Homo-oligomer: A and B are copies of this chain.
Amino acid sequence: MKDVILELARIAQAVSGNEDPRQQAVTIVELISESMMVDVCSLYMAEEDGDMLLLASHGLSSSAVGRTRLPQGKGLVGLVAQSRHPINTDNAQQHSAYLYLAETHEERFQSFCGVPLVRRGRVIGVLVVQGRQSRQISQQEEAFLVTLASQLSLLLDGVSVAIAQPRNSNVRRTGVKGSSGVGIGSVLLCGGTELYGVADCPCADSELTIERWHQLLAQVRSDIETQQRTLDPEFSSSIAAVFEAYQLLLSDKALIDSVEQQIRQGHDLPSALKRSIQQLSDLFLSMDDPYLRARHEDIQHLGNKLYSAWLGEDLRNTTVDGPVVLVGAQVGIAEIAQVPAEQLMGIICYEGSSLSHTAVVAKAMGIPAVLGVGALRGINGGETIIVDGNQGQVILRPSASLVAEFGKLVNDDNELLSQLANLRDLPAQTTDGEVIRLFTNTGLLADIAPGVRHGAEGVGLYRTEIPFMVYDNFPSEDEQVSTYRKILDAYPDKPVCMRTLDIGGDKQLPYFPIANEENPALGWRGIRFCLDNVQLLMTQVRAMLRAAQGKNNLRILLPMVSASEELDSFRELLLDACQQLWQEGYQVSQPRLGVMVEVPATISQLERWSTQIDFVSIGSNDLSQYLLALDRNNARVAQRYDPVHPSVLAEIKRVVDIAQRCDLPLSVCGEMASDPVAVVLLLGMGVKTLSLSAPRLPRIKCLLRSLSAADAQTLWYEIAELDRAQQIRNRVGDFLRGKGLEALCR
């Protein structure tokens, strides 16, 4: 018997060379019949109506392939699909479910073993082997087939989709959400000048080529400097560090020497560059740490940039007409900066993760972005494409009706936003007079202006790790003072909740990689990391206190607190920091202190802690993740994640009740705070403060001003009886539609 993993690897490799799903199916049945030494191997796939189509067969009559269909539930194949378990018999004809189909000529085969192909709980097909001799397929062979089928269904999902969706337009590709929003535009390909495609060429004069190499470096350095200067000042301070990283790479002796060495070994400049960049990129790719691994994109992009410059081409020589979507293996920050902001509708990267610099910048600019969609082969510059950053998908070759549909979405949104602008200075007051405070979440300095512009009444969550992420080292106390002062100054007399450094989990610092954690979400992060590296926390707290000197608006928020010991340790440290600064002559005052409610263990301790803290903030993303034991970034389970799950709502209500009883101000700062369905329920539970990203503020304010708190409360008691997230979404959706508020809810 073959090893099933090796067999699967063999099949996966064989089908990878072919993009036609029917051809892939043929390859699969040929390989299986060969390795299992059976007379027949057939693949049946479910059509939309449940009929089973004989898609490919080794052994059955070729005239039946692609034509023969078994009606739902009929025949042995239908029984396998319906019962969801293998059928293994040494005499198929005598089985009660046997159905004779003349065109297959299967009467020659007595033994039959069929196993279901299942994907996401649904039977998508049946894999059958048959044999001439009346000998039963052995238990071992059946087990092998079941195991093979369990993995094959992953491979065959594409075949299944292709059969259900044969047309070539409206092709959807799923990736990672990089930045929310929807955009439509014509494709502008980036990095068309791919360094990796360069052929090896010998070099005639190595000294001259090395000289040319240094000229090229100088030219690109100066190009980047120019770009740095011409950046939109609103987000320049955040992005400067990224450009700085390119400049550092361009000055890296390792890269410079490596290219020189390749040239001395006889390569011309492009092939020397290709080889050196590849080596450097491989080095990063081999690193365990996901953040460092993601940095290989920067290296490759830089390589392409150097090559473009060598070719004398550059994006800025391309004229950009109308709305544009940047598409490429990677899309560099320099390329983003070259397209006028009002024309840039979206960004699509074949590679990359939500940690890529591209994603960080797209979020800061409010441009929809989807990353990691895989290579979009055959895509042409100029064709229309849709980027749906909300769903993390892109739509290739959209039909006119789909373009119109998404176009309407975009237009309605824009129109709505311009209408909402006049709410800026009005309170988020419900129709029955309840006033909800709307704070904003920020992290990049670039977020400050939009927050103020959209009327935020303070900062509910300032993520201090984001400025840490763009540095090359831990920022010094003075550097942090200057950063924090900017945000405190932008919100005079309004509260600014600064969360202490919350790295770990999915947030990594390039200069402090926390690698090799099996479950980083349950690992060394938040306050745990900071108390173990207490010197970093001390510097940060000192910087916060110094920045807040003479102001009254600093609040400190602690992430991932789960035990009294942690809270006590932090309070001691805070007092120590104050005393140090008083001794040094600073006039600092003790800020209000709050904890994030995100670790479930926090809930039952809140009452006990209420005398030691001044406020709480529910981090609904992490709280839902831990309560449901579901990583929403994991595509295999993400569809099961919904924060309006009845248990998540019940636990949040528990927190709201404790906070009310203990007189602790409470806010909600996760994505629930900008999800209209969740906002209605939070209002119904008695939540009085929400903190959300600036672009979502006007919409949520308008929603709150259109609702009555009493109605929301009634609705909350009603849905507390429902036991499925989808039922809850439907019920609240009906409620909002009943009030004519559907436009606010997209």
Chain A residues close to B by CB (< 8 Å): 1, 3-5, 83-86, 115-116, 118-121, 123, 139-140, 142-144, 146-147, 149-151, 248, 252, 290, 292, 471-479, 506, 510-514, 517-524, 528, 531-536, 538-539, 542, 560, 562-565, 569, 573, 576, 580, 598-605, 608, 622, 625-631, 633-634, 636-637, 640, 645-648, 650-651, 723-725
Contact B629 A600, beta carbon cutoff 8 Å: yes
> Do A724 and B150 contact each other (CB < 8 Å), given the known contacts A4-B472, A532-B121?
no
Chain B residue numbers with a CB within 8 Å of A142 are 476
Q: In the bound complex, how far is the Cα of B157 from the Cα of A533, in angstroms? A: 13
> Do A511 and B147 contact each other (CB < 8 Å), given the known contacts A292-B5, A628-B601?
yes
> Do A580 and B626 contact each other (CB < 8 Å), given the known contacts A511-B147, A528-B640, A634-B523?
no
Closest residue of chain B to A536, judged by CB? B150
Chain B residue numbers with a CB within 8 Å of A630 are 522, 562
Contact A627 B600, beta carbon cutoff 8 Å: yes
Residue in B121, B144, B513, B625 whose CB lies within 8 Å of A569: B121
A–B Cβ pairs within 8 angstroms, 30 of them? A3-B248, A4-B473, A84-B538, A85-B542, A85-B580, A120-B532, A121-B533, A121-B569, A123-B535, A146-B474, A146-B536, A147-B473, A147-B474, A147-B512, A150-B512, A506-B518, A517-B631, A518-B631, A519-B634, A522-B625, A522-B634, A523-B636, A524-B634, A562-B645, A563-B725, A600-B600, A600-B626, A600-B628, A600-B629, A604-B646
| A155 → B minimal CB distance (Å) | 14
Closest residue of chain B to A142, judged by CB? B476
Closest residue of chain B to A632, judged by CB? B522
| A732 → B minimal CB distance (Å) | 18
Q: In the bound complex, how far is the Cα of B522 from the Cα of A519, in angstroms? A: 8
Contact A478 B5, beta carbon cutoff 8 Å: no
| A212 → B minimal CB distance (Å) | 26
Q: In the bound complex, how far is the Cα of B647 from the Cα of A736, in angstroms? A: 37
Q: In the bound complex, how far is the Cα of B520 from the Cα of A542, in angstroms? A: 37
Closest residue of chain B to A531, judged by CB? B121
Chain B residue numbers with a CB within 8 Å of A569 are 121
Chain B residue numbers with a CB within 8 Å of A580 are 83, 85
Closest residue of chain B to A353, judged by CB? B518
When A and B form their complex, which 4 residue pairs have the shortest distance between CB atoms, in order from nearest?
Answer: A601-B647, A522-B631, A143-B473, A147-B473
Chain B residue numbers with a CB within 8 Å of A292 are 5
Contact A520 B519, beta carbon cutoff 8 Å: yes
Q: In the bound complex, how far is the Cα of B634 from the Cα of A625, in angstroms? A: 19
Chain B residue numbers with a CB within 8 Å of A602 are 647
Residue in B506, B637, B723, B725 whose CB lies within 8 Å of A528: B637
Contact B85 A143, beta carbon cutoff 8 Å: no
| A158 → B minimal CB distance (Å) | 17
Contact A534 B628, beta carbon cutoff 8 Å: no
Q: In the bound complex, how far is the Cα of B140 from the Cα of A532, in angstroms? A: 24
| A522 → B minimal CB distance (Å) | 4
Contact B86 A539, beta carbon cutoff 8 Å: yes
Contact A608 B534, beta carbon cutoff 8 Å: no
Chain B residue numbers with a CB within 8 Å of A119 are 532
| A383 → B minimal CB distance (Å) | 32
User: How many identical chains are in the complex?
Assistant: 2
Q: In the bound complex, how far is the Cα of B627 from the Cα of A598, in angstroms? A: 10
Q: In the bound complex, how far is the Cα of B524 from the Cα of A565, in angstroms? A: 33
Contact A634 B143, beta carbon cutoff 8 Å: no
Contact B724 A563, beta carbon cutoff 8 Å: yes
> Do A645 and B517 contact each other (CB < 8 Å), given the known contacts A150-B474, A510-B5, A625-B522?
no
| A621 → B minimal CB distance (Å) | 12
| A465 → B minimal CB distance (Å) | 15
Contact B563 A636, beta carbon cutoff 8 Å: no
| A509 → B minimal CB distance (Å) | 9
Chain B residue numbers with a CB within 8 Å of A120 are 532
| A146 → B minimal CB distance (Å) | 5
Closest residue of chain B to A649, judged by CB? B604
Chain B residue numbers with a CB within 8 Å of A477 are 85-86
Residue in A120, A142, A514, A518 whose Cβ sees the most chain B Cβ within 10 Å: A518
| A126 → B minimal CB distance (Å) | 10
Contact A628 B562, beta carbon cutoff 8 Å: yes
| A20 → B minimal CB distance (Å) | 27
Residue in B140, B474, B514, B629 whose CB lies within 8 Å of A522: B629
| A376 → B minimal CB distance (Å) | 22
For the A-B complex with A84-B573, A115-B535, A598-B629 known, give 8 more contacts whose Cβ atoms are closer than 8 Å: A85-B535, A86-B477, A121-B531, A521-B629, A564-B646, A599-B628, A601-B645, A603-B647
Contact A633 B147, beta carbon cutoff 8 Å: no
Chain B residue numbers with a CB within 8 Å of A144 are 473
| A706 → B minimal CB distance (Å) | 30
Chain B residue numbers with a CB within 8 Å of A628 are 562, 599-601
Q: In the bound complex, how far is the Cα of B565 from the Cα of A725, in angstroms? A: 10
Chain B residue numbers with a CB within 8 Å of A627 are 599-601, 626
Closest residue of chain B to A290, judged by CB? B518
Contact B513 A563, beta carbon cutoff 8 Å: no
| A153 → B minimal CB distance (Å) | 8
Q: In the bound complex, how far is the Cα of B640 from the Cα of A560, in angstroms? A: 13
Residue in B4, B478, B523 whose CB lies within 8 Å of A637: B523
Chain B residue numbers with a CB within 8 Å of A513 are 5
> Do A143 and B724 contact each other (CB < 8 Å), given the known contacts A85-B538, A292-B5, A562-B629?
no
Residue in B471, B608, B629 whose CB lies within 8 Å of A626: B629
Contact A83 B510, beta carbon cutoff 8 Å: no
Chain B residue numbers with a CB within 8 Å of A603 are 647
Residue in A144, A535, A648 whose Cβ sees the most chain B Cβ within 10 Å: A535
Chain B residue numbers with a CB within 8 Å of A478 are 139
Q: In the bound complex, how far is the Cα of B532 from the Cα of A510, in angstroms? A: 37
Q: In the bound complex, how far is the Cα of B118 from the Cα of A139, in angstroms? A: 59
| A280 → B minimal CB distance (Å) | 11
Closest residue of chain B to A721, judged by CB? B608
Residue in B1, B479, B517 whose CB lies within 8 Å of A143: B479
Contact B524 A637, beta carbon cutoff 8 Å: yes
Contact B139 A479, beta carbon cutoff 8 Å: yes
Chain B residue numbers with a CB within 8 Å of A646 are 564, 604-605
Closest residue of chain B to A565, judged by CB? B724
Chain B residue numbers with a CB within 8 Å of A598 are 629
> Do A533 and B139 contact each other (CB < 8 Å), given the known contacts A629-B599, A647-B602, A724-B563?
no
Q: In the bound complex, how far is the Cα of B538 from the Cα of A535, in angstroms? A: 55
Contact B560 A116, beta carbon cutoff 8 Å: no
Residue in B139, B535, B536, B564 whose CB lies within 8 Å of A476: B139
Q: In the bound complex, how far is the Cα of B725 from the Cα of A602, in angstroms? A: 14
